[in-house]
Amino acid sequence: MTRENFIIREIKPADNFAISQVIRSVILEMGAPKIGTAYEDADTDRMFEAYQKEKVAYFVLELDNKVIGGAGIASLDPSEINTCELQKMYLLPSARGKGLGTDLISKCLKKAKEFGFEDCYLETMPYMEAARKLYEKNGFLSLSKPMGNTGHYSCNVWMLKKI
């Protein structure tokens, strides 16, 4: 399967169930806690609706009309800082190791730049090593403390990138 077979597009209402299943299955696969993560976020079940505000976007990764991953950006709360957050980036195993994570990050950062954000923040977990390496490869640097009020208190790796 080549990268050309995969499509990255903006989320549609019909994607809600599929992307919620992707997010929750990856969290369980990684052994991450259900509490204090995207697993329990109310937005996980209504991703399309959650990303219909100003200066937010969510993209799904599709193969053969099946959603197999996604990532989004939104203003980091408190919104008076000019920083966005890379949110809910999850890929099923079939999408990993093909450069698609970098493609998703690039799509999100391009949109963030269009929105006028200067920095992009993210949170992950220490044992999600492949994800951390992907973020580092894409220019994200580790921080010593969290930023904003994400509500994901189980995520204790914080990273930031200048856009």
Q: Which of 92-101, 125-134, 146-155 has the highest mean pLDDT?
A: 92-101
pLDDT at 150: 67
Tell me the pLDDT tens digit for each residue of 19-70.
Answer: 999 999 999 998 888 888 888 888 999 999 999 999 999 999 999 999 999 9
DSSP class of 26: H
Q: Report the alpha-carbon distance of residue 135 to residue 114 in Å, rounded.
A: 21
Residue 67: per-residue pLDDT: 98
Share of the chain above pLDDT 70, in %: 94
- Give the integer Cα–Cα distance in Å for 134 and 105: 9
**Interior/surface letters 75-110, b for 16+ CB within 10 angstroms, e for the rest:** bbeeeeeebbbbbbbbbbeebbeeebbebbbebbbe
What is the pTM for the complete model shown? Answer: 0.93
List the chain domain ranges.
3-117
57-92 pLDDT per residue, tens: 999 999 999 999 999 999 998 766 799 999 999 999
CATH number corresponding to 3-117: 3.40.630.30
What's the confidence (pLDDT) of residue 143? 94
pLDDT, the chain, mean: 91
Structure tokens at 37: 């993560």
Contact 46, 11 (CB under 8 A): no
Strands 6-10 and 57-63, sheet pairing: antiparallel
